[in-house]
Structure 1
Amino acid sequence: MGRPRKALLDRERIGATALELVDEKGDFSVPEVARRLGVQTASVYHHVDGRAGVIELLRERVTEAIDPGTLSDMPWDTALERWARSYRAAFAAHPRTIPMLMTAPVRAPRVLAQYEQVAGLLLEAGFAPSLVLPVITGIDNIVLGSALDMSAPDTMWDVEAGTAVPHLAAAQAAIGPARADRAFDLTLAGFLDYCRNLLKHSPSGV
């Protein structure tokens, strides 16, 4: 028999399979990935550095849906807002990856390159180096928290008849099905306004 035209196992297939498992059950193990691919666990380890390596493949697969063009040729705050919206949409498609990825250091080169773009954008805008990571982390928290919220029920406060919370009940009735989107818009707008003000009054902001 001739050699197969396509490798039976590669990093792309490992990442895709791990993402399937996380989407289904919220977690994965390397042996589970191997079983689903029909290979030995040792074969997976030939391509990745254990569980941590698979997590970075997951990160790459989810973040490849973020449009890098949002960070080009526009004012920093417009770019950051557009990037945040694309970033949120990418993770909203895979909300079960969020707890795992938020607690693991970012190592994937393609993902680091995108954060490098954001850091460069902020530095060029005049943010002091000491403010760049707080701003990036703030965007991460807003985006990932909201992406996770998008998978929650629209009605998050279970107000039963007779419960003495009339103000909360009225607020919940008024918001309708767009609670997560409106909360994201409000929080992102407030954060960007704060950053604009921070830049305006920063001694290093030139």
Structure 2
Amino acid sequence: MSAVATRGRTLVFDVNETLLDIEVLNPFFERVFGDARVMRQWFAELILYSEALTLSGEYTRFGTLAVAVLQMVATFRQIELKDGDLEEFKSTMSKLPPHREVPEALEKLANAGFRMMTLTNSAGEAGKASLVQARLYDFFEHTFSVDEVAKFKPAREVYVHVARALNAQPSDLRLIASHTWDTLGALAAGYSAALVARPGNAPLAVGAQPDIVEPDLLQTATRIIEVDR
């Protein structure tokens, strides 16, 4: 991680699911809802309503929205959430571990000389804390949050804000994310993009396409070094 950045392109990483493993929430959903697959429903609804808030001109912090969506899913599934359930959920969310290959992939990119940032829907301090507890924080030069523009990804303003803060052209930035909705937003803002197609994620056959699609971050890192040399 001591290499001096020499590449022209700066890498901007999504955090939740791209770097950190949200599947550790599955036991909670299995216990509370009787079906671990409800985690994916909750996450999809969380993204849906984050986008709905942005489109309607509203904003609340991502952690607050995550709990509200959990309560909504519980309501229409006729599940009564107890205080202990909410505390367990929030505690697990604050301690998401990195995917197994992530530290090696980040080390490889750092040694190749790339500048690396994060851009997360999570609030600023929460996003930083999640990287610290996962022992990933030191890989990154800066951690950006959508809190800074009060709009959730994939609003174009979020990606433009990062480029301006870095005094960079969007074309000099590459977003790395596990979610096609995120790569669509970055590409629309002029970035290039790499999709980490983890289980439950895949490219969309319409719209602008990432030029790199790989199943994990280590393979994605290898391709980035090949393409962005």
**Higher relative contact order at CA 8 Å, sep ≥6: structure 1 or structure 2?**
2
Could you say which TM-score interval applies, normalised by the shorter chain? under 0.3
More strand by share: 2
* TM-score under structure 1 length normalisation: 0.27
More helix by share: 1
* TM-score under structure 2 length normalisation: 0.25
